[in-house]
Amino acid sequence: MIRNAIQRLMYGRYGTDQLNLFLMGVYLLLYLVFALTRVTLLYWVSFVLLIWSLFRTLSRNMERRRMENARFMRLAGPVLSWLRLRRTIRRDKEHVYFKCPSCGQQLRVPRGKGKITVTCRGCGASFEEKS
């Protein structure tokens, strides 16, 4: 019953995306800092972020919200990719990661093979690496 009411409310509305998740994360962080420090400016900034996020979620102007999210992803995309790569490197204990000296592409080789000759798939450069 409640689920149907929420579905009817959200029909034709934008919903959530990466920018909304980022706004909610910043809101929670600022509100937590406000709770610890009692700086009222932080409370109002976090409140504005919350209202903005709710406005975007309930908006019917989907094209405008998609454009906002695309701009955000253009700015945040490289940072998110870098963070995902760091997480992968930290979790992967079977490979050694390094950059191609010629083109800068990330490469991986099996760990413990000694010195091996690697050919980059991006530029075709060959070089030796220790794994």
Which residues fall within 8 angstroms of residue 116, CB to CB, at 6 or more apart?
109, 128, 129, 130, 131
Say what angle helices 18-37 and 40-58 make with each other, to 10 degrees. 160
Q: What pLDDT does residue 33 have?
A: 97
Tens of pLDDT, residues 40-81: 999 999 999 999 999 999 999 999 999 999 999 999 999 999
Query: Rounded CA gap, 62 and 70, in Å?
Result: 12
State the Cα–Cα distance between residues 15 and 65, nearest whole angstrom: 10
Q: 109: part of which helix (H) or strand (E)?
A: strand 106-110
